[in-house]
Amino acid sequence: MELIAQAENFFGNITPPAAIQKYGDLDTGLVKFANNILKLLVVGAGIYAFINIIVAGYEFLGAGGDAKKVEAAWKRIWQSLLGLAFVAGSFILAAIFGWLIFGDAGAILSPEIYGP
């Protein structure tokens, strides 16, 4: 008699949804999934900064000469541009560190994992 804990397929076979199946291969896997998440975050940061600059421009135009509103609009524009510089700078630093450590500028930006 076989115990339940010793059964080969206690939970059965679960097939992942079609959209996630491509992340199970060795060529894609977790690294590809994390890379896609990183790309999504970078695109989201760019869209957020773009919208923030547009809104700050409208605030600047609608300030009507009020010094506090103009200063707040300039601060918002400056912070949006600074955020974009940080996002772009992170890629530049990753390329520099990849080149210095691994001899390849794309080593950190697009890693390859070798397996059996």
Q: What is the distance in angstroms between the CA of the first residue and the CA of the last residue of the chain? A: 37
pLDDT of residue 116: 43
Do 94 and 108 form a contact (C-beta atoms < 8 A)?
yes
35, two tokens = 């890379």
Say if 57 falls within a structural domain: yes
Within a domain: residue 43?
yes
Q: Is residue 15 part of a domain?
A: no
Please tell me whether residue 104 adopts helix, strand or coil conformation: coil
Q: Is this prediction's pTM over 0.85?
A: no
Domain extent, residue 57, equals: 24-102
CA distances from 30 to 2, 46, 61, 111, 114 (A): 36, 24, 47, 11, 13
pLDDT in tens, 24-76: 555 566 777 777 888 899 899 999 999 999 999 999 999 888 899 999 999 99
More reliable by pLDDT, 104 or 21: 104
Q: Say how many domains are in the chain.
A: 1
Q: Residue 54: inside a domain, yes or no?
A: yes
The two structure tokens encoding residue 102: 């691994």
